[in-house]
Amino acid sequence: MKKILLALAIVAVAAGVFRLKAEATGAGVSDPGTGDWPMWGGTPDRNMVSNMKGLPTEWDVKTKKNVKWVAELGSQSYGNPVVAGGMVFVGTNNEAMRDPKQPGDRGVLMAFKEDTGEFMWQQTHEKLSSGRANDWPYQGVASSPAVEGNKLYYVSNRGVVWCLDINGFADGNQGPVKDEKLTGPHDADVIWSFDMMEEVGSYPHNLSNSSPVIYGNLIFVSTSNGQDESHVHIPSPKAPAIIALDKVTGELAWEDNSVQDRILHGQWSTPSVGKIGGVEQVVSAQGDGWVRGYDLKGKKLWEFDTNPKDAVWPKTRNEVIGTPVIYDDKVYIANGQDPEHGEGVGHLYAIDATKRGDITQTGRLWHYDKIRRSISTPSLADGLLYIPDFSGFLHCLDAKTGQVYWTHDMFAAVWGSTMVVDGRIYLGDEDGDVTVLATGKTKKVLGEMNMGSAVYATLVPAHGRLYLNNRNQLFALSVDGK
Amino acid sequence: MENGSRLKAYDVEGGKLLWTQTLGTIQKAPLVFADGKLYVGTESGKFFIVRPFADHAEILSDVEMPPSKDDNAGQSAGIPEPIFGGAAVSRGRIFFVSTGGVYAIGAKTPTKPAGFTVDEPAAKGEGDATWVRVSPTEMVLKPGQAVKLTATAFDRMGRAIGPASNVTWSLTGLKGTVAPDGTFTPAADVVEQAGTIKATAGAVSGEARARVVRPLPWTETFDAMADGSVPPGWIIVGTAKTAVGAIDGQKALYKAPDNTIFKRYRGFVGDVNLSDYTVEADVRGTTKRRQMSDLGVTAQRYSLILYGNAQQMKIESWEPETHRAAVVPYEWKPDTWYHLKLRVENMPDGKVRARGKAWPTGAQEPDAWTIEKIDPIGNHKGAPGFFIDAEFGAYIDNIKVAKNQ
């Protein structure tokens, strides 16, 4: 039996490689193919899988076995690392202050050298004076950057979309922005910025966190527009849920506000892009619990309600925090709630996004209601879907039918997502444990390693290493220190 | 218990970790120890009885709660009822609360308690006084209304010694007199003032606060007040960056742009025991970043509010209770004055009726009320005031409070 499974796995991997080659220029690729991991999910479809080989399956942060390097972050790090241009970029807070001239509570984006973990440069942002309503203390930068060429894009804790030069000032001061106040060797070279609060009226609830996605000439970002601290009032119902910016100039290309004043709480899901039924689409889960698809010019193509009609916020009606994944002409998404709201019932869907209009009924390929509230993003590989929920259950389903093959109890809350690579599933949890399981229809736990502090992030594969941050440290993991 | 629902035992002497036992995923409930066992429920919806040993834990009982019922949603398929609270132990039985019910486990009939813990009498203070309490400590008074204050000395442990001796009284921010026996009489000719009354006994002292509020009816146009001043005793107003200022050559109360938590607040003016009265005011909002102010007046804990973005008029006693609010559409513009009128009445049957209307300042008052809310379990008294939610600034003027006609 084992041999058969192994053979199947090899075929599946081969198919994956083929898919990568066949669609190297298209949107169906679920691996950057370069060895980099330049954005949340690696590719615009956000599928949490990689074709990489030779990654470690065990390590020990105490003895440093298979630990290449460790870099100090702040005290809380909710963003996810990305790897590109020989560097690792990650958001954190300012509790590991790198520059005494930039003191106090701030959101921080840090850049480290990929091979050594050497600190390269940072950009910091003071907190908004509005405090918890818009910018929760000590949450840092929670956006995972997106990198293309020498340019890096992310959203700060102040709701500003930034375009930076990944080389800092080492290659001169890139414009149009040339009046940076801090121009030292460890400061950030700003190319342009776009203030979503000022320009489109966003009133982010608790924190702006969107992870940008780049496609063609545009960048897509959700605004995080939401309630004020009364938790019933939407101060800015005319602000969009999603915007598209010109990646060169930072100018607003289009916006959409189908949600209006129906935001249940905040808007913390992050958009995806992919080709579905031959049409390039931006897919965005929004504050009313609906998922919407747009063409690249901002025309709304479809919308799908992830909640049963009789669900009641906040008991049974959910928001969407996880990221929609585009795979095999379908959209996969689970709903859930702010971790502060605790555990509850959730819903996971496969959506046929070739349909148009309100596709809540017509586009629902399957619905899995045995999941709890989830803020995670699924991995789809070889016809199987893996997704954890906030209650700590990892679910393995048939991607075509929604049939469940197995579940695994992590015995800890899960905020991050699975990473499927080389026949293994990696998943971290709030107890700081990373569990490694075998892919496939049969559950098999291969190991569990503790990172010393809660893991809210997702493991990232790049150039034969795994990168992972717990709350206060960034780890580069590789076999025998490669 | 950890927040991650891991039960850990430590050596009391050295703090050495003895063992760890995972019970669930997320934990809120504390442990209760009784009869040699630990009783605890988890947010994951299980109740455990655990016998702790020096080197391990033995789980004696592990019971999953029934699925949560959610009648509001008509959904029965829920997660096991989460347990957030600690268990209580009484007469041989264990009581605990889940989100779905109260449970008792143990003997069908209660056992007889073996003994009681009795509160000890309050300890008498001794030694030097370190603090003086002035009582009553918070007062709302009418002009000229006398009140007798007492000063009590406390020792360093917070224990009462007795009446403070050789007390001298002084006033800050208040016009009036304090007699040697502690009788405070605010000046009869000052209609509105606020400040503190201090009792000093040797090296220690204490304070009480008084607001002297004007009797009905009253009108405030702010014309006699200095720019930048805050009317005395208007609660939260100064903190929320609101002060007298001029607009179009006329004085008004100006809420400065503010994105802190005080961008949205309720200001209260006067007596908290008022009932059956009418509040009027002119309000003027602003708009920026696609957002428009929300402005209103308050009477007897009901607010009549114009919502800018929603273009609605509401009467509500607490914004989050959306199901209890009265709402009607109302078109209004920024940078324009509107007159608001809110009347609240206690009805003979115990209900409370609140009615409101609004019109552009200077236009004729409409005959009919625009909005009405009958509150079956109503608020029967409360101070007049106003509501402002204006990150980009707002004005309020000509506040008028009068008994219902």
Band of the pLDDT at A329, cuts 50, 70, 90?
Answer: very high
Whether residue B260 and residue A130 make contact (CB cut-off 8 A), yes or no, is yes
- Residue written as token pair 């929670």: A142
DSSP B67: B
- pLDDT category at B123 given cuts 50, 70, 90 is confident
From the candidate CATH numbers 2.60.40, 3.40.190, 2.30.29, 2.40.128, the one assigned to the domain spanning B6-106: 2.40.128
Query: What DSSP designation does A392 have?
Result: S
How close A3 gets to chain B, by Cα (Å)?
Answer: 36
Per-residue pLDDT at B140 exceeds 50:
yes
Cα nearest neighbour of B288 on chain A:
A201
- Going from the N-terminus, what domains does chain A have, and what CATH number goes with each? 2-340+461-481 (2.130.10)
Closest CA of chain A from B101, distance in Å: 16
Contact B25 A133 (CB under 8 A): no
Average pLDDT over residues A472-481: 95
Which of A411, A415, A429, A471 should be substituted to probe chain B, the one whose Cβ sees the most B Cβ atoms within 10 Å? Answer: A411
Interface test with A, best of B17, B22, B25, B70 (most A CBs within 10 A): B25
Structure confidence by residue, pLDDT tens digits, A139-167: 999 999 999 999 999 999 999 999 999 99
Long-range contacts (CB closer than 8 Å, 24 or more residues apart) made by A393-398: A394/A418, A394/A425, A394/A427, A394/A435, A394/A437, A395/A348, A395/A368, A395/A370, A395/A371, A396/A441, A396/A443, A397/A348, A397/A368
Mean pLDDT over the full length of chain A: 93
Out of A478-482, B65-69, B331-335, which region has the weakest mean confidence (pLDDT)? B65-69
Confidence of residue B106 (pLDDT cuts 50, 70, 90): very high
Chain B residues lying within 8 Å of A205, measured CB to CB: none
Write b or e for each residue in B367-394: b if 16 or more Cβ atoms lie within 10 A of its Cβ, otherwise e.
eeebbebebeebbebbbbbbbbbbbbbb
- Mention every residue, 6+ apart, whose C-beta is less than 8 A from residue A474: A70, A71, A72, A73, A77, A81, A88, A90, A112, A117, A467, A468
What pTM, to 2 d.p., does this model score?
0.86
Task: Measure in Å the smallest separation between the Cα of B381 and chain A Cα atoms.
Answer: 24
- Which residues does chain A have within 8 Å of residue B259's beta carbon, measured at their own beta carbons? 128-130, 134
User: Cα(A288)–Cα(A262) distance, rounded to whole angstroms?
Assistant: 6
Q: Does residue B301 carry a pLDDT above 70?
A: yes
User: Chain B residues with CB inside 8 Å of A427's CB?
Assistant: none
Question: Which pLDDT score is estimated for A482?
Answer: 83
Instruction: With CB atoms and an 8 Å threshold, state whether B259 touches A369.
Output: no
Q: How many CB pairs under 8 A join A and B?
A: 102
Q: What's the pLDDT band for B70 if we cut at 50, 70, 90?
A: low
Out of A425-439, B115-129, B250-264, least confident range: B115-129
Binary contact (B320, A230; C-beta < 8 A): yes
- Interface of chain B toward chain A, CB-CB under 8 angstroms: 4-6, 22, 24-26, 43-44, 70, 72-75, 77-79, 82, 259-261, 263-264, 289-291, 309-310, 319-320, 322, 389, 391
Pick the closest to residue A460 from A210, A64, A144, A121 (CA basis): A144
- Strands annotated E in B85-190: 88-90, 93-97, 102-106, 131-135, 138-141, 147-148, 150-154, 160-163, 167-172, 176-178, 183-186
What token pair was written down for A122?
Answer: 């940072």
Domain ranges of chain B: 6-106, 131-212, 218-403
Architecture per CATH, B218-403 = Sandwich (2.60)
Which burial class, exposed, middle or buried, applies to A339 when counting CB atoms under 10 A from its CB (0-12, 13-18, 19+)?
middle
pLDDT at A20: 38
**Distance (Å, rounded) from C-alpha A364 to C-alpha A377?**
18
CA distance A113 to A358: 47
Chain A residues in contact with B98 (beta carbon < 8 A): none
User: Tell me, what's the pLDDT at B74?
Assistant: 35
Read off the pLDDT band of A19 (50, 70, 90): very low
Q: How far apart are CA B286 and CA A6, in angstroms?
A: 67
> What confidence tier does A5 reach under pLDDT thresholds 50, 70, 90?
very low
Q: How far is A241 from chain B (nearest CA, A)?
A: 14
pLDDT band at B72 (very low <50, low <70, confident <90, very high): very low
Are A167 and A189 in contact by the 8 Å Cβ rule? The answer is yes
| CATH node for B131-212 | 2.60.40.10
Question: Taking CB atoms and an 8 Å cutoff, what residues of chain A touch B291?
Answer: 201, 203, 235-236, 238
According to the model, what pLDDT value does residue B116 have?
A: 67
A128 to chain B, minimum CA–CA distance in Å?
A: 9
pLDDT score, position A62 = 96
Query: What's the average model confidence in pLDDT over A451-475?
Result: 97
Tokens of A191: 């190319």
Q: How far is B42 from chain A (nearest CA, A)?
A: 11
Minimal CA separation from A155 to chain B, in Å: 19
A25 Cβ contact partners less than 8 Å away, ≥ 6 residues apart: none
ipTM above 0.90, yes or no: no
CB contact under 8 A, A312 and B72: yes
Nearest residue in B to A240, CA atom: B290
The DSSP result for A326-386, as a single string, is EETTEEEEE-B--GGG---B--EEEEETTS-EE-TTTTEEEEE-SSB------EEETTEEE
Distances (CA, A) of B152 to A189, B124, B140: 65, 13, 21
The closest CB to that of B291, out of A201, A229, A391, belongs to A201
What average pLDDT does this structure show over A103-122? 98
CB neighbourhood size of B331 (10 A): 8
Confidence category of residue A8, pLDDT binned at 50, 70, 90? very low
Q: Do B75 and A369 touch (CB under 8 A)?
A: no
Q: How confident is the model at residue B206 (pLDDT cuts 50, 70, 90)?
A: very high
Q: pLDDT band at residue B12, thresholds of 50, 70 and 90?
A: very high
Check B79 against A391: CB less than 8 A apart. yes
Which residues of chain A lie closer than 8 angstroms to B329, CB-CB? none
Tell me how far the alpha carbon of residue A470 is from its chain's centroid: 15
Q: What pLDDT, on a 0 to 100 scale, did the predictor assign at position A11?
A: 37
| Share of chain A residues as helix, strand and coil, in percent rounded to the nearest 5 | 10, 35, 55
Residue B117 contacts by C-beta under 8 Å, 6 or more apart in sequence? none
- In percent, the amount of chain A with pLDDT more than 90 equals 89
B258 to chain A, closest Cα gap in Å? 8
Mean pLDDT for the stretch of residues B240-249: 94
